[in-house]
């Protein structure tokens, strides 16, 4: 079941005479499974997945996809479900990438939180037209609205201000396009081929909002985890230690965090993402009074044969972390080809908030908003 363990254990022969201790929490795993199955059934999706990770250590608390299979009954199972899409499939994640683009803009210094741009609704680059999701222009627009309204034009503006080479380096430094090294078999890497092989602005514009580049879910949660870990990425993993027959327990080392963004850039991006939840997500109705939550939705068109994007097939994603300024968990959810629903805000907002409330209660995470924390 597990891979890459020998590479992080010094005495491989000795440690095989023991048991692996994982970071998976069974109660949380069961809750995640229930939510994924429910979402997949409710929207008739082809696949729904999720990962819950500690963004500071990379320990994975729960992960799964639906539909799944019974590991004890391969004969009667659907062979198309035997793989692990979380490490074996890559997807275009859409607008959740805008949060990384924003952090890159802030970190590079080409924008500040007070910067504005002229939003024309649509524009053409290299003879290719792209638009905001609703085709509407906003005029002079502040950076907060790029995330709050999920504006493609704003994300593209930031990426082109950062520049091709630097933007590409940010994505690569976040581990996008490379395997994470997770201790699960058959991991593949994502792809940044569009921006690695093209000098054109259009590829960087679309990459800024998560189209034209593709990542595995575990690769995506590693990259997004930088926002929740003061700009540093870690190695996602499930094995915490090896307990030998002698009773000695060897804690495994999964390397040191790698810095991609400065802490100031991720703190400002986090503040913006908290505003998304408090003021915009479900019209502010899901705001948790006592807890700050940073989150963003993503809706991506799915490319068909020949690379042409479908007008009725979508990939929905949602990520968030909390408490926002000292996160205990980061959650990534996605659902592929939900039926008769266009936006991720419709399919994944309430499942994400359900998980968030559950984790807060299960782990007794104390309030972090000043008016509540001071009363403890």
**1 domain-assigned:** no
Phi, psi (deg, nearest 5) at residue 29: -60, -45
pTM score, whole prediction:
0.93
3-class SS at 175? Answer: coil
Name residues whose C-beta falls within 8 Å of residue 376's C-beta, 6 or more positions apart in sequence: 366, 367
**57 domain-assigned:** yes
- Model confidence over 226-267: pLDDT tens digits? 999 999 999 999 999 999 888 888 889 999 999 999 999 999
Distance between CA atoms of residues 329 and 169, nearest Å: 26
CA angle centred on 26, ends 21 and 29, rounded to 5°: 115
**104 domain-assigned:** yes
And the tokens for 244?
A: 């030998």
Q: Tokens 């907002």 appear where?
A: 349
pLDDT at residue 6, rounded to an integer = 52
**222 domain-assigned:** yes
**2 domain-assigned:** no
Domain of 77, in residue numbers = 19-241+250-373
- Model confidence over 273-319: pLDDT tens digits? 999 999 999 999 999 999 999 999 999 999 988 778 988 899 999 99
Task: Quote the number of domains for the chain.
Answer: 1
In angstroms, the first-to-last Cα distance of the chain is 43
**4 domain-assigned:** no
Distance between CA atoms of residues 94 and 336, nearest Å: 12
**165 domain-assigned:** yes
Q: In 3D, which of 294, 290, 265 has the Cα closest to residue 279?
A: 294
- Relative to beta strand 139-142, strand 122-125 is unpaired
Cβ contact 36:62 at 8 Å: no
Cα distances (Å, whole numbers) of residue 351 to 63, 64, 248, 332, 341: 14, 14, 40, 11, 15
pLDDT at residue 197, rounded to an integer = 87
- pLDDT mean for each 10 residues of the chain (376 residues): 54 64 97 98 98 98 87 51 88 98 99 98 97 97 99 98 98 98 96 93 98 98 99 98 88 94 99 98 97 98 86 96 99 98 97 99 95 64
Quick one: how far is CA 57 from the chain centroid? 16
User: Where does the chain show beta strands of DSSP type E?
Assistant: 18-22, 47-53, 60-66, 116-119, 122-125, 128-131, 139-142, 232-233, 239-244, 249-251, 258-259, 294-303, 309-322, 329-336
**8 domain-assigned:** no
Name all contacts of 133-138 with Cβ < 8 Å and 24+ positions apart: 133/299
Phi, psi (deg, nearest 5) at residue 125: -130, 130
Q: What is the CATH number of the domain that holds 132?
A: 3.40.710.10
């Amino acid at each position: 079941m597990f891979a890459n363990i020998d590479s992080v254990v010094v005495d491989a022969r000795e440690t095989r005479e023991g048991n692996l201790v994982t970071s998976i929490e069974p109660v949380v795993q069961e809750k995640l499974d229930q939510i994924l199955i429910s979402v997949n059934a409710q929207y008739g999706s082809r696949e729904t997945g999720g990962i819950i990770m500690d963004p500071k250590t990379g320990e994975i608390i729960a992960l799964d996809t639906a539909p799944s299979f019974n590991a004890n009954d391969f004969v009667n199972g659907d062979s198309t479900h035997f793989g692990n899409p979380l490490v074996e499939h890559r997807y275009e994640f859409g607008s959740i990438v805008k949060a990384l683009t924003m952090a890159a803009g802030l970190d590079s210094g080409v924008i500040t939180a007070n910067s504005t741009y002229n939003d024309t609704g649509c524009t053409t680059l290299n003879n290719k037209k792209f638009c905001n999701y609703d085709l509407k222009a906003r005029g002079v627009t502040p950076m907060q609205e790029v995330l709050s309204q999920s504006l493609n034009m704003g994300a593209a503006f930031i990426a082109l201000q950062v520049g091709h080479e630097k933007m590409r380096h940010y994505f690569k430094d976040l581990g996008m396009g490379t395997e994470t090294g997770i201790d699960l078999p058959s991991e593949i890497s994502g792809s940044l081929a569009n921006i690695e092989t093209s000098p054109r602005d259009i590829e960087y514009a679309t990459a800024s909002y998560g189209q034209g580049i593709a990542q595995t879910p575990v690769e995506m949660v590693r990259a997004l985890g930088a926002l929740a870990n003061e700009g540093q990425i870690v190695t996602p993993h499930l094995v915490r230690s090896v307990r030998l027959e002698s009773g000695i327990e060897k804690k495994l080392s999964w390397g040191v965090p790698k810095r991609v963004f400065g802490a100031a850039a991720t703190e400002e991006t986090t503040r913006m993402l908290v505003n998304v939840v408090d003021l915009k997500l479900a019209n502010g109705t899901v705001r948790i009074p006592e807890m700050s939550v940073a989150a963003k939705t993503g809706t991506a068109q799915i490319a068909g044969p020949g690379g042409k994007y479908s007008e009725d097939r979508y990939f929905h994603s949602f990520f968030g972390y909390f408490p926002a300024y000292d996160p205990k968990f980061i959650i990534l959810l996605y659902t592929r080809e939900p039926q008769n629903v266009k936006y991720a805000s419709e399919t994944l907002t309430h499942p994400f908030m359900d998980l968030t409330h559950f984790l807060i209660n299960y782990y007794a995470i104390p309030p972090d908003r000043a008016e509540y924390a001071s009363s403890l």
